[in-house]
Structure 1
Amino acid sequence: MPLLIAQISDPHIRLDDEPSIPGLERAAERVAALSPAAVLLTGDIADTGAPEEYEAATRALAPIQAPVYRTAGNHDRFDERQQYVAEAGNVRLVVCDTSQPGRDDGSLDVDWVEQQLEPGTPTIIAMHHPPVAMGLAWLDRIGLPKEQADALAELLTANPQVALVAAGHVHRAATATLGGTLVVTAAGTHIQSTLDFEAPGMATNREEPPSVLVHAFLDDGSVITHVQPVT
């Protein structure tokens, strides 16, 4: 049985946007059925950062028995930085807070990430803003600075124990590589980004189905990421 780490992202819970709550509820039910060792919640949990939105998110996630490790997105408002290290079986989870108060673009403390890595320990680095360009201009404008992405690429090249970087923000399931390491982004549980490479501004739709990611660490040391639709 592989060790499973699920990833849920960008529910954007808003009490006056009725579908946002059942979207997260369905995602939680699907994840709970898989009995993962841990769940990564990669940001934009709330849409406005109101306490009531986080309370609704907590209720929606109730079916999940595994620990849920959250980080902050650009829509989130937390009193403390959501940046820490956790363990799931033999996998190290380095959870980074890339949010900046009052801004939509992100910032990554690469030096802090480096300090959390342990040689030989399989690792997932989780964050909201992906450290790669997605080719969607309006999203790439609110990503991470290139110099930080370049520094992370060097760090990943020197640390092959990092199995993947798990991010959100994009509202699409997508993959890339950085420093020879897989970077995956999870779709939202409510609204998705339109796959429009020429859109000058925000382009979203409610027609594409949401999904979650399931990162499976196999007995032979390999890691497989599955995209699980949620309908």
Structure 2
Amino acid sequence: MFASRVLGIIVTLMVTATALVYLAGRERRIHDNVQMDQRLELELLARDLKSQATTDPVTGLRNRAKFNKRLADEMARAERYATPFSLVLYDIDGFKTINDTQGHQVGDQLLVELSELVARKIRRTDFFARWGGDEFAIIATQSSGDRAARLAKSLVKTVSEHRFKAAPHVTCSFGVAEYSRGETAESLLSRADEALYRAKMNGRNRAERAPPRKPNGSGLVEVA
């Protein structure tokens, strides 16, 4: 009888110990799962914040900050490996009138439609960003000025022939500049912007290419 009681006590203790070990392990697993969920939430939040910092909220394209970083990278690559690249700037002809007469919602819809159209026509290796307002920038990698000019002219045709939902007829003007080794980002942007301005002055719905930069006898650089 005594032996049976002792055995019963031992069995009870073993069952209790097993249950405690199980509960402790279960609690530990729950704790680990909670920590894992929290880590995942923080990682997703960090990823989302990073995306917001580099993405235009209207079009979903890269924003100006990300563009500046990519432009610096392309310039460094061009200096190191002597690889060509060109910059294409463009904007929508008469966009202010569309905004003023049809409202900003229609204007935003047009920006989205246009961005999607152009994105389908450029290479995956090219870098496409919203520069600001209705102005956009394309870094045409591994591209001479001639190739970038052909791209810009083809986009002029593509845009003018497309029928947008937001506006019946839309055209764009483009400015192209090929990077010259030793050139600053400000100089490249200025030359592309001047070419874009010239396209506007020459009737819009067209592409203009900036003349190449040439070193003069004093070692300075001037526009040809």
- Report if TM-score (shorter chain) is over 0.5: no
User: Larger strand proportion, structure 1 or 2?
Assistant: 1
Q: TM-score range by the shorter chain?
A: under 0.3
User: Larger helix proportion, structure 1 or 2?
Assistant: 2
Which of the pair has more CA radius of gyration? 2
